[in-house]
């Protein structure tokens, strides 16, 4: 009985509403944080940063954002790619227009701009529901991508139509541009992930989170008992877009450094982030991480096994990768329809009983 | 009549034809959604897969040749025969029925009664899976579909109408392929309607669409019905795959035509076959006309992709129940 | 009979005040169907008001009008002496009107505690930024609300299921949780749509006790729809009877019991 | 039993992956899957087959064996970055990123890591300025050259005068597609032809609007910057509206066999640019057939040998191996580093004599690279599709672009890049 809750009593409401009510979970959380903040930065190299950890962290932010909208508030969105593009282009314009201001502020502001755009595109959600809304958010997706591609002001009239992140420093260390050390890239993303996860956690366990969930579970009843649907939906769109915008800004400035809107923030990105939260678990912060990990790390792992270990032709491995990822998604669903987060919860419940199952 | 006006009419005509092609894709979504409440994300990939299978069978390709060669060190690619079109289409349909059975047996039978979002997600997995299998089976090169469909503008229409305008007007351009697509779409829809009205299976299908429980209680096998609708969706996917593939060759991008169907579905509703047709026509005409009148002259072009969605969105904001939906009365 | 609105004290010592809500000539139509035909009645402070009638009489629609979900085509709603302007349901709720639903409308994906906390939506003052930081005012407020909710949980004796997801609860408990959610709003007017439907005798007794206690202890005005005549007659101070969208009776339980039109409606005398 | 076999395979795999001493590591960022696989597969086959030929025939380059590390990108930028990061540690000597998106990723990264990039006829055009882009090479030609070559070809067709002619540009609505616009606008002002632009949104399956517009406006020529499914559909639609195919010219990424075959006979007469000559009778193919394919070392199934993109891939491999050989000469060692290969590229000279010696006479233009000019000569040929024979036929010899138009554009764009990124232009 390594993992247990017996004897773990709460004597205050504060203690009762904390993020990890169980002591063991708390210890696990702090160990993870310690490793993430104090160990990984010292051992990370370029490959681990650019291929695995940085994209994983950024997708986790985007997934948290979309999970707030879809998982907590029940509004299915396929505009994530477009909103990420807003974050990226806002960040680019801010970076190049006000080069003396700290990039961290630019990234947060980019999130804020995205929040405004997101709330504006959230307006139809007051009339349109369910899958119809999902398809309506595609209008945002296609329009935004077209706009950033078409209006040269957004890419500072560069001949190529690409946007390039110039070098910016935080505390004397480059965090964007080619000479960014891997650990700095990683740490800035980790900082924003931690921040976003914290904010998301606080919002979802409080009043506003309950109003989102109420709208998700039964919107009419929610309104009748006093939830303002306009406010709940628009705040969900705004908060969600804020995170997605930060993810887009980081994706452009820290991770890729150069971006073309149609290719990087196309419809595929919207679907990918949606897949992450569904696979990870709707309405779960942990699920956002799990889903991002599943779809970022699994393909790389499969490729490594197929190409480097088994020595198979790369194209066969790529095809098998699709087959395996697809089959795994279906398999997990049949075993546990509520995503990896639920699977994890069930595993923990089993652990609580282990080794005495009754 | 002025040439500009006539060209406007030409744009509308071609928009209608394009709309038929969009509707063909949307139809597959509607069939499955109506009968089982599944929003089938894999419909586009099914179109790709069925067209790949058809092209592969016709040219006598060995399935999984690349895989077999990689494992056994062999060098096989083709059986060395060509299968006639009709036989190949029938064989492809057999493959699609087997596929439908597998989908039902191995995936959705285990997910009965789950929430729509979970069913949707399962189709995402299915899309990945099928895309991978399609590549493994038939390779990822572009295949030419020589099923004997006519191509090119109809000279007859062009000649007959060239006198309408002045010297600047060259007559209406109507693609022969589009005309065939229209005819095929009409036959397909008529066939589907006849099937659902006049056959036992069709009536059972409609019963299931109306009420699962009630259908079960009168002894209809849900399993059978679902295999049936997935097979029908496979048929629709094949037709859409042939029509689109005739233009571009059969290639990966064929799976992206699903995106063209989404605004149509928004407009026409996920459960209405007439909605899919009329929605397709409205989207086709709307986006082409917008590009002709506003997009190309004032906005720098390439507006069709987003305008289709904006059109559907505007429509829904003013009429949330869609084209043929009944007025929604909310209850608690 | 609505004219006489002088406060009085009931036999069991409860305080009945003046008119709290006054519905005047309410007519509600869905397309061509008239669900409510020019109905007027009032609800007085501190009383338990029952609305009865056969299925399809328009009772739930009436509650929906009161809670602002349906907008009547004709008629006026007066609340605390003032005409109520057109309002969204959540604004009505924030004026102190809470309710339960005929077919339980709990938030299935949330725990019992969260469901009840949702009822306190109107009592939250801290803004989103404060909530995001989760310190100071926001947390203090959360704790105050939690204490209020815990009192209701104690009151309704559902301590043991606090953290349980609502979806896993049996029917009777769900009904109780829904009542708790409505009470959490500390309403002035509580609307109960068939609070005892589908319950066995013991559960009905429990629920009746809760309703009386709520009315008694918090002084909450209650309007309820119920089919069980025994319960209605025992609980309520005054009863409105509806049939086919019309009001056919209004008065004390005894008056209603002896109303010929009401008897006809309930005995199923054919309409012409 | 099964486990044993798997373990043995795994072991063999790890052993093969362990870097052996003194070999020339060349990554191949291929895309054999995804929407553009039809173009990526033959290129990658040609690229690898040529290096395999060198291994089989000459024991590598200068006696050093070549090890190819293939990495599948699916033409996806993020996967491309993953591929770059996972292969650079193995001692990669030169990258051929093969996609615009990946190229833009790698330009800054590879500059910091000091590994040369060769973007042959794609990527960032202003990388031709070697003083700003020390580590990036885009010889033998770039997109702006291509636009100019097309116009020069048309000038030639029209007796040197294009005034009053109308030319429509159908382009992929992306950074890649927009590349030629500035050059064509300059040229239109210079030669007096009227330029109209028609954007086609990704992916480009539905182009009815654009081609109806072309049918209405009847431009004299249509130029195309297309990619992927857009190419096949454009060729089909052009044939549908009865546009004279000989007046329809694609760039060199819109001129492979698979771009025209789906349209069948309708595509006959369609023209495209090419940076390399397609000639299935080149002696080098015989060598590849006997020494690589028959030895069982072919990268693909061998079916696309001699095709446009296979030839281009092989040509790219030849340019890379020549640069490595040049580096070995310069530095006097055979086990060269990436920085040495850069030197080899920066002083590369391709002559007809050398190409003939390699069994690929006339495959590309003669050109020389210098520290300042990383762009080569910018020459291109015009080829035409013969649907009956299923062959591309070269119509012209190598045509030169108008450097007086392009050079200032390159100077301006690279100066902007240098300013944005605090680069002090100069030779290494």
Is the domain of D264 the same as that of D389?
Answer: yes
| Interface membership of C165 toward A (CB under 8 Å) | no
- Do both C179 and C212 map to the same domain? no
pTM of the model: 0.92
Interchain CB distance below 8 Å, B332 and C101: yes
Q: Domain of residue D210: give its range.
A: 143-274+380-405
> Which chains lie within 8 Å of chain D at 3 or more CB pairs, if any?
A, B
Q: Are residues C182 and C192 in the same domain?
A: no
Shared-domain flag, residues D109 and D81: yes
Residue of A nearest to D32 (CA): A315
Residue D108 lies in a domain: yes
Contact flag C30-B332 (C-beta cutoff 8 Å): no
**Residues C222 and C155 placed together within one structural domain of the fold:** no
Residue B332 pairs in a beta bridge with none
* D413 occurs within a structural domain: no
User: Which 3 state secondary structure label does DSSP give B12?
Assistant: helix
What averages of pLDDT result for each successive group of 10 residues across chain A (358 residues)? 59 74 84 93 91 96 96 93 97 94 96 97 88 85 94 87 88 89 95 96 92 93 92 96 98 93 91 91 93 92 89 90 91 85 83 64
Residue of B nearest to D213 (CA): B292
Q: Are D111 and D130 in contact (CB under 8 A)?
A: no
Q: Do D77 and D89 fall within a single domain?
A: yes
Q: Do D41 and A179 touch (CB under 8 A)?
A: no
CB contact under 8 A, B306 and A76: no
**What pLDDT is attached to residue D232?**
95
Whether residue D191 lies inside any domain: the answer is: yes
For residue D137, report the phi and psi dihedrals to the nearest 5 degrees: -130, 135
**D411 reaches B (C-beta below 8 A):** no
Work out the mean pLDDT of chain B and round it to a whole number.
Answer: 89
**Structural domain range at position C159:** 105-186
Q: What is the pLDDT along chain C (272 residues), one digit of tens a residue?
A: 444 568 888 777 778 888 999 999 999 998 888 899 999 999 999 999 999 988 888 999 999 999 999 999 999 999 998 999 989 999 999 999 999 998 889 999 899 999 999 999 888 887 888 888 877 788 888 889 999 999 999 999 999 998 889 988 999 899 999 999 999 999 999 999 999 888 889 889 989 999 999 998 888 999 999 988 888 888 999 999 999 899 999 999 989 888 888 888 776 655 44
Check residue B1 and give its pLDDT. 63
For the purposes of burial, counting CB atoms within 10 Å of the CB of D15, is it exposed (0-12), middle (13-18) or buried (19 or more)? Answer: exposed
Q: What is the model's pLDDT at position D16?
A: 42
* Residue D18, pLDDT score: 43
pLDDT of residue C272: 45
Residues D194 and D171 occupy one common structural domain = yes
Q: Do residue B332 and residue C31 have CB atoms under 8 angstroms apart?
A: no
Percent share of chain B, pLDDT over 90: 45
How many domains are contained in chain D? 2
Mutate which of B15, B141, B289 to disrupt the D interface (most D C-beta within 10 Å)? B141
Residue range B197-253, pLDDT digits in tens: 899 888 888 888 888 888 888 888 888 899 999 999 999 999 999 999 988 889 988
Query: Is the CB of A322 less than 8 angstroms away from the CB of B129?
Result: yes
Contact A314 D32 (CB under 8 A): yes
**Same-domain pairing of C193 and C84:** yes
Decide: residue C163, CB within 10 A, 0-12 exposed, 13-18 middle, 19+ buried: exposed
Q: Are residues C180 and C204 in the same domain?
A: no
- Who among B18, B144, B252 is closest to D206 (CB)? B18
Give yes or no: residues D263 and D399 share one domain: yes
My answer on whether D216 and D364 are in the same domain is no
Decide: helix, strand or coil at residue B275. helix
The verdict on C144 touching A (C-beta cutoff 8 Å) is no
Give yes or no: residues D261 and D394 share one domain.
yes
In this predicted structure, what is the pLDDT of residue C267? 66
Search chain D and give the residue with CA nearest A300: D82
* pLDDT block averages, 10 residues each, chain D of length 428: 40 42 88 91 96 95 94 92 92 93 91 94 92 94 95 95 95 91 94 95 90 94 95 94 95 94 93 93 94 89 90 96 96 94 95 95 94 93 95 94 93 88 86
Closest-CA distance of chain A to residue D151, Å: 20
Stretch 183-212 of chain A: residues touching chain C, C-beta under 8 Å: 199, 202-203, 206-208, 210-211
| C143: nearest CB among A14, A225, A228 | A14
Q: Can you tell me the distance from the alpha carbon of A89 to that of A79, in angstroms, rounded to the nearest whole number?
A: 15
All residues of chain D having their beta carbon less than 8 Å from the beta carbon of residue A307 are 70-72
D355 and D386: one domain?
Answer: no
| Nearest beta carbon to residue D33 from set A51, A266, A319 | A319
Last residue of a domain, one of C170, C186, C202: C186
Q: Are residues C10 and C84 in the same domain?
A: yes
User: Between residues 226 and 265 of chain A, which touch chain C (CB distance below 8 Å)?
Assistant: 226-229, 235, 239
The pLDDT of residue A357: 54
B138: closest chain A residue by CA: A319
Nearest CA in chain A to D70: A314
Are both D60 and D197 inside the same structural domain?
A: no
The reply to whether residue C31 touches residue B327, judged by beta carbons under 8 angstroms, is yes
C176 and C221 inside one domain: no
Query: Is D411 inside a domain boundary?
Result: no
Q: Where are the alpha helices (DSSP H) in chain B?
A: 3-36, 43-58, 65-72, 85-102, 116-138, 155-161, 176-198, 200-210, 212-217, 222-248, 258-268, 273-290, 296-298, 304-318
Give D373's DSSP letter: B
Q: What is the b/e burial string over B197-216, where b = at least 16 CB atoms within 10 angstroms of the residue's CB?
A: eeeeebebbebbbeebeebe
Q: Which of D361, D377, D393 is the last residue of a domain?
A: D377
- Assess if residue D415 is contained within a domain: no
Give pLDDT, residue A52: 92
Residue D4 is assigned to a structural domain of this protein:
no
Touch D-C: 3+ C-beta pairs under 8 A: no
| Statement to judge: residues C83 and C199 lie in one domain | yes
Q: What is the mean pLDDT of chain D?
A: 91
How many domains does the structure of chain C reveal?
Answer: 2
Distance from CA of B118 to the nearest CA of A (A): 6
Contacts A158 to D, Cβ<8 Å: 413, 416
Whether residue D277 contacts residue D414, with contact meaning beta carbons closer than 8 Å, is answered with no
Residues present in chain C in total: 272
- Please give, rounded to a whole number of angstroms, the shortest distance from the CA of B117 to a CA of chain C: 14
pLDDT in tens, B168-181: 788 889 999 999 99
D359 and chain B in contact, CB less than 8 A: no
For residue B187, the SS3 value is helix
D204 and D324 co-located in one domain: no
Query: Do residues D258 and D282 make contact, with C-beta atoms less than 8 angstroms apart?
Result: no
| CATH code assigned at C167 | 3.40.50.300
Q: Are residues C12 and C54 in the same domain?
A: yes
Of D41, D213, D239, the CB nearest to B296: D213
- Asked if the C-beta of C109 comes within 8 angstroms of chain A's C-beta atoms, the answer is yes
Note the pLDDT of residue B316: 86
Show which of D334, D357, D377 is a domain's final residue: D377
Examine residue D290 and state whether it is found in any structural domain, yes or no: yes
Which residue in chain B is spatially nearest to C29 when comparing CA positions? B329
Do D241 and D318 reside in the same domain of the chain?
A: no
Q: How far apart are CA A8 and CA D235, in angstroms?
A: 71
For the record, the structure tokens of D92 come out as 């990669």
- Using a CB-CB distance cutoff of 8 angstroms, which residues of chain D are in contact with residue A262? 173-174, 202
Same domain, D269 and D329: no
Query: Tell me, what DSSP letter sits at residue C96?
Result: T
- On the 0-12 / 13-18 / 19+ scale of CB atoms within 10 A, A181 is middle
Domain end among C186, C210, C229: C186
Q: What is the mean pLDDT of each run of 10 residues along chain B (332 residues)?
A: 85 93 92 89 94 94 89 85 92 96 93 85 92 92 86 84 78 90 92 89 86 83 90 95 90 87 88 90 94 90 90 86 71 68
State how far the alpha carbon of A45 is from the alpha carbons of A185, C225, D18, in Å: 10, 69, 19
- Assess whether C194 and C267 both reside in one domain: yes
Residue where a domain stops, chosen among C186, C210, C243: C186
In chain C, residues with a C-beta closer than 8 Å to the C-beta of B321 are none
Q: Give the other-Cβ count within 10 Å of C103's Cβ.
A: 11
């Amino acid at each position: 009985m390594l993992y247990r809750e017996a004897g773990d009593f709460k004597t205050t409401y504060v203690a009762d509403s904390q993020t990890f009510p169980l002591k063991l979970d708390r210890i696990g959380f702090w160990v993870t944080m310690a490793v993430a903040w104090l160990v990984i930065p010292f051992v990370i190299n370029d490959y681990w940063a650019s291929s695995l950890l940085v994209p994983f962290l950024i997708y986790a932010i985007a997934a948290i954002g979309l999970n707030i909208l879809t998982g907590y508030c029940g509004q299915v969105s396929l505009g994530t790619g477009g909103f990420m593009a807003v974050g990226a282009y806002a960040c680019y314009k801010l970076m190049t227009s006000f080069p003396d201001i700290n990039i961290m502020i630019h990234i947060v502001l980019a999130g804020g701009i995205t929040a405004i755009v997101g709330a504006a595109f959230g307006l139809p959600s007051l009339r349109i529901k369910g899958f119809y809304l999902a398809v309506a958010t595609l209008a945002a997706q296609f329009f935004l991508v077209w706009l950033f591609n078409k209006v040269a002001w957004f890419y500072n009239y560069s001949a190529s139509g690409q946007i390039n992140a110039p070098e910016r420093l935080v505390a004397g260390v480059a965090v964007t541009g080619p000479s960014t050390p891997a650990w700095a890239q990683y740490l800035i993303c980790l900082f924003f992930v931690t921040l976003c996860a914290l904010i998301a956690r606080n919002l979802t366990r409080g009043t506003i989170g309950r109003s989102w969930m109420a709208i998700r579970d039964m919107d009419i009843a929610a309104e009748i008992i006093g939830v303002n649907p306009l406010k709940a939906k628009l705040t969900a769109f705004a908060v969600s877009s804020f995170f997605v915008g930060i993810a887009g800004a980081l994706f452009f400035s820290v991770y890729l450094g150069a971006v073309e809107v149609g290719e990087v923030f196309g419809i595929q990105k919207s679907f990918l982030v949606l897949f992450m939260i569904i696979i990870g678990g709707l309405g779960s912060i942990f699920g956002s991480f799990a889903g991002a990990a599943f779809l970022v790390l699994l393909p790389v792992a499969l490729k490594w096994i197929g190409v480097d270990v088994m020595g198979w032709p790369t194209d066969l491995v790529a095809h098998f990768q699709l087959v395996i990822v697809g089959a795994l998604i279906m398999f997990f669903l049949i075993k546990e329809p509520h995503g990896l987060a639920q699977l994890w919860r069930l595993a923990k419940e089993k652990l609580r009983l282990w080794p005495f199952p009754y | 009549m002025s040439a500009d006006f006539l060209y406007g009419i030409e744009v509308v005509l071609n928009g209608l034809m394009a709309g038929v092609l969009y509707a063909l894709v949307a139809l597959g979504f509607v069939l499955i959604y109506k009968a089982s409440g599944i929003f089938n994300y894999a419909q586009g990939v099914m179109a790709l897969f069925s067209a790949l299978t058809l092209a592969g069978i016709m040219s006598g390709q060995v399935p999984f040749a690349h895989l077999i060669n990689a494992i056994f060190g062999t060098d096989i690619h083709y059986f060395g025969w060509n299968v006639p079109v009709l036989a190949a289409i029938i064989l492809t349909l057999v493959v699609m029925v087997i596929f439908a059975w597998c989908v039902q047996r191995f995936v959705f039978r285990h997910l009965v009664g789950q929430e729509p979002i979970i069913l949707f997600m399962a189709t995402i997995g299915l899309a990945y899976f099928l895309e991978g299998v399609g590549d493994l089976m038939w390779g990822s090169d572009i295949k030419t579909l020589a099923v004997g469909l006519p191509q090119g503008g109809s000279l007859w229409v062009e000649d007959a109408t060239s006198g309408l305008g002045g010297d600047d007007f060259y007559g209406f351009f109507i693609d022969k392929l589009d005309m065939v697509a229209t005819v095929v779409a009409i036959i397909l829809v008529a066939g589907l309607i006849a099937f659902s009205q006049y056959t036992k299976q069709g009536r059972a299908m409609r019963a299931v669409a109306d009420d699962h429980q009630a259908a079960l209680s009168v002894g209809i096998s849900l399993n059978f019905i679902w295999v049936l609708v997935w097979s029908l969706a496979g048929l629709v996917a094949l037709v859409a795959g042939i029509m689109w593939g005739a233009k571009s060759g059969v290639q990966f991008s064929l799976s992206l035509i699903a995106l063209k169907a989404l605004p149509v579905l928004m407009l026409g509703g996920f459960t209405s076959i007439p909605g899919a047709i009329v929605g397709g026509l409205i989207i086709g005409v709307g986006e082409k006309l917008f590009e002709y009148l506003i997009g190309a002259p004032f906005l720098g072009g390439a507006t069709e992709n987003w305008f289709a969605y904006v059109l559907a969105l505007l429509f829904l904001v003013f009429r949330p129940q869609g084209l043929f939906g009944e007025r929604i009365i909310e209850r608690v | 009979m609505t004219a006489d609105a002088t406060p009085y004290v009931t036999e069991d010592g409860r305080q009945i005040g003046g008119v709290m809500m006054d519905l005047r000539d309410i007519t509600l139509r869905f397309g061509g169907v008239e669900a409510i035909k020019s109905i007027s009645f009032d609800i007085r402070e501190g009383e338990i008001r029952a609305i009865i009638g056969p299925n399809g009489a328009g009772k739930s629609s009436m509650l929906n009008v009161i809670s602002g979900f349906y907008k009547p085509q004709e008629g006026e709603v007066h609340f605390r002496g003032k005409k109520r302007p057109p309002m969204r349901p959540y604004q009505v709720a924030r004026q102190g009107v809470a309710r339960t639903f005929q077919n339980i409308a709990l938030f299935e994906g949330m725990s019992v505690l969260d469901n009840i906390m949702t009822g306190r939506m109107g009592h939250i003052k801290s803004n989103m930024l404060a909530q995001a930081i989760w310190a100071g005012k926001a947390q203090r407020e959360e704790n105050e609300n939690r204490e209020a909710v815990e009192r209701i949980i104690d009151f309704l004796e559902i301590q043991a299921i606090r953290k349980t997801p609502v979806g896993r609860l049996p029917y009777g408990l769900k009904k109780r949780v829904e009542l708790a959610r409505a009470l959490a709003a500390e309403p002035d007017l509580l609307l109960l749509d068939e609070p005892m439907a589908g319950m066995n005798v013991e559960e009905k007794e429990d629920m009746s006790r809760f309703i009386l206690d709520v009315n008694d202890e918090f002084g909450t005005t209650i309007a309820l729809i119920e089919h069980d005549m025994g319960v209605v007659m025992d609980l309520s101070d005054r009863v409105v009877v509806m049939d086919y969208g019309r009001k056919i009776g209004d008065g004390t339980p005894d008056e209603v019991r002896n109303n010929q039109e009401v008897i006809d409606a309930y005995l199923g005398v054919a309409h012409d | 039993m099964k486990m044993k076999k798997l373990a043995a395979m795994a072991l063999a795999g790890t052993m093969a992956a362990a870097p052996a001493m003194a070999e020339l590591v060349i990554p191949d960022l291929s895309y054999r899957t995804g929407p553009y696989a039809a173009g990526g597969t033959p290129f990658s086959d040609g690229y690898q087959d040529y290096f395999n030929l060198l291994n089989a025939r000459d024991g590598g380059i200068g006696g050093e064996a070549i090890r190819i590390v293939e990495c599948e990108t699916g033409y996806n930028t993020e996967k491309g970055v993953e591929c770059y990061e996972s292969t650079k540690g193995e001692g990669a000597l030169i990258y051929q990123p093969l996609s615009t998106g990946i190229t833009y990723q790698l330009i800054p990264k590879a500059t910091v890591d000091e590994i040369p990039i060769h973007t042959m006829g794609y990527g960032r055009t202003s990388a031709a300025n070697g003083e700003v882009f020390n580590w990036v090479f885009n010889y033998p030609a770039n997109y702006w050259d291509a636009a100019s070559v097309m116009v020069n070809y048309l000038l030639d067709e029209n007796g040197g005068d294009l005034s009053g002619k109308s030319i429509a540009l159908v382009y992929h609505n992306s950074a890649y597609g927009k590349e030629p616009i500035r050059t064509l606008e300059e040229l239109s002002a210079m030669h007096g032809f009227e330029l109209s632009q028609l954007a086609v949104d990704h992916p480009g399956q539905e182009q009815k609007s654009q081609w109806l517009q072309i049918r209405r406006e009847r431009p004299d020529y249509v130029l195309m910057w297309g990619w992927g499914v857009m190419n096949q559909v454009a060729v089909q639609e052009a044939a549908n509206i009865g546009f004279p195919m000989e007046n329809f010219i694609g760039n060199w990424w819109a001129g492979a066999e698979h771009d025209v075959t789906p349209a069948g006979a309708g595509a006959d007469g369609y023209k495209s640019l090419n940076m390399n000559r397609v000639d299935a009778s080149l002696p080098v193919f015989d060598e590849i057939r006997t020494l690589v394919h028959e030895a069982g070392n072919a990268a693909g199934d061998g079916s696309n040998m001699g095709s446009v993109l296979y030839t281009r891939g092989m040509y790219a491999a030849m340019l890379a191996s020549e640069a490595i050989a040049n580096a070995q000469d310069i530095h006097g060692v055979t086990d060269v580093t990436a920085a040495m290969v850069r030197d080899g590229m920066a002083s590369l000279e391709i002559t007809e004599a050398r190409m003939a010696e390699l069994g690929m006479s006339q495959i590309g233009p003669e050109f020389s690279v210098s520290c300042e000019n990383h762009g080569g000569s910018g020459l291109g040929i015009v080829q035409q599709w013969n649907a009956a024979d299923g062959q591309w036929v070269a119509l012209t010899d190598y045509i030169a672009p108008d450097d007086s138009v392009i050079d200032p554009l390159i100077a301006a764009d690279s100066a902007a890049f240098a300013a944005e990124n605090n680069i002090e232009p100069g030779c290494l």
